Amino acid sequence: MPGAVANPIDWRAAVGPAWVEVDLDAIADNVRMIGALLPEGCRLLAVVKANAYGHGAVEVAHAAISAGAAGLGVSTVPEGLALRAAGITAPILVFTPPRSQDINPALQADLTITVVSIDHARALADAAARRSIPAVAHVKCDTGMGRYGFDDGELGAATEGLAALSGLIRFEGIYTHFARGADIAVTQRQLERFLRVVDAAERAGLHFSIRHAAASSAMLALPESRLDMVRIGTLLYGDRPVSGNAPGLKRAFALKVQPAQVRELRAGSTVGYGAETTLQRPAQVAVLPVGFTDGFDMTPAGPYRRPLVLLRTLARALLSALGLRRLLGAAVGEVRMGDRPVRVLGRVGMQQVVVDCTGVSPEAMLRPATIHVRPTVVGAHLARVYMRDGVAVRAATVLGSFPTSLAQAASGERQSGV
């Protein structure tokens, strides 16, 4: 069984040479920034599925709710139950229709259920009748995603049956999911279709207090899609939008790794498995104890095997030359030591990678490097260290969670960011 780390002061020894830093202030600031874009009365649902996209669901949920999120979104009932077990009382919408064995636990935990068929609604009503407490549900409409939900005709045929269950199920909301949220024309058509479906359902006897359609991309690209609530996932964590404007968006996630060795390699030296990289000049290199098992891509740094990768790289080079690289933010797979990006040499190994740190200051070489990776691919075996005001306040490892504040432990290490 996981247990608490006995000595929270020695958190660096407990987490090992690589860890994830999660900036809770960035999460809170992103919630407030998005909230400022919403019309009056429109709620923000913070999506914390998949362990909050790898950031840590409980900690992110607390930060988002404290910053003004009206509720939380998860994929499965067990995800919702874990939040309830952590003492979170905010509304929680479960996107995936629950399995039969999950319905009773979901109702006991006051989770909001997604209804996708009349048979599913009847099963939910039966469970609610046994408890003598109405279930709370949102109806899901399929307007072009091809996944869960009623299509136009199915909802029309089911409306009378759903209305008959309203004594056992409170149909609080109705929603859809856009297939191409950043494509304004396509999204506009889906939105219009959704609103027609909602209007028909309400005229047939169903009444909803929350209509929602927009996730992060559509919320920015198509303001009229904001309706009564928006479901915010990627923007919550600081991922830059494909389209639209999100001023002040802050990245909340960084993979950190302490260099294990810095050394000189001669011109002609080969690096990594397969000896695919040969140095054309002497180089100072750092060996970082992190690799593809930790979520860092295995793809060799040299060859550009896909045209899109090459185009993105050329675009970044052009913006760098113009002094505008900040517009793109850090690229996935970029390694930084101090303020400088450094080049990966050779293949990324299972738990080792070599980077060219020639020209990096000696002080920066002693501090943890930052690797920008997709949070969802970083394994749970790496500790999450939670930051406020640049200071570590909590950490969770495979052994459990530190039970007390880390502020005292971190106070002497602020220059390194942990």
- Residue-level pLDDT, tens digit, the chain, 418 residues: 333 333 444 567 778 899 999 999 999 999 999 999 999 999 999 999 999 999 999 999 999 999 999 999 999 999 999 999 999 999 999 999 999 999 999 999 999 999 999 999 999 999 999 999 999 999 999 999 999 999 988 999 999 999 999 999 999 999 999 998 888 999 999 999 999 999 999 999 999 999 999 999 999 999 999 999 999 999 999 986 555 566 688 999 999 999 999 999 999 999 988 888 999 999 999 999 999 888 887 554 433 344 554 565 566 556 555 655 444 445 556 899 988 899 999 889 999 999 999 999 999 999 999 998 888 888 888 999 999 998 898 888 755 555 444 444 443 343 333 3
For the domain 253-416, what is the CATH code?
A: 2.40.37.10
Given its phi and psi angles, is residue 54 left (phi above 0), alpha (psi -120 to 50 degrees) or beta?
Answer: left
Encoding tokens for residue 166? 């309203």
CA distance 337 to 339: 6
Alpha carbons 201 and 176: distance in angstroms, whole number: 14
In which residue ranges of the chain is CATH 2.40.37.10 found?
253-416
Enclosing H/E stretch for 244: none
Among the listed residues 294, 293, 415, 272, the one whose alpha carbon sits nearest the alpha carbon of residue 355? 272
How many alpha carbons fall within 13 Å on the CB side of residue 210?
Answer: 24
Distances (CA, A) of 299 to 182, 292, 356: 28, 9, 17
How many Cα atoms within 13 Å fall on the side-chain side of residue 208?
24
Q: Which CATH architecture has domain 24-237?
A: Alpha-Beta Barrel (3.20)
pTM of the model: 0.84
Which residues does 165 contact at the CB level (< 8 Å), separation at least 6?
121, 122, 125
Q: Please give the Cα distance from 228 to 294 (Å, whole number).
A: 39
49, 53, 175, 386: the active-site residue: 49
Catalytic residue among 140, 237, 250, 273: 273
Is residue 273 annotated as a catalytic residue, yes or no?
yes
* 8 A C-beta contact, residue 161 and residue 123: no
Q: What's at 345, amino acid-wise?
A: L
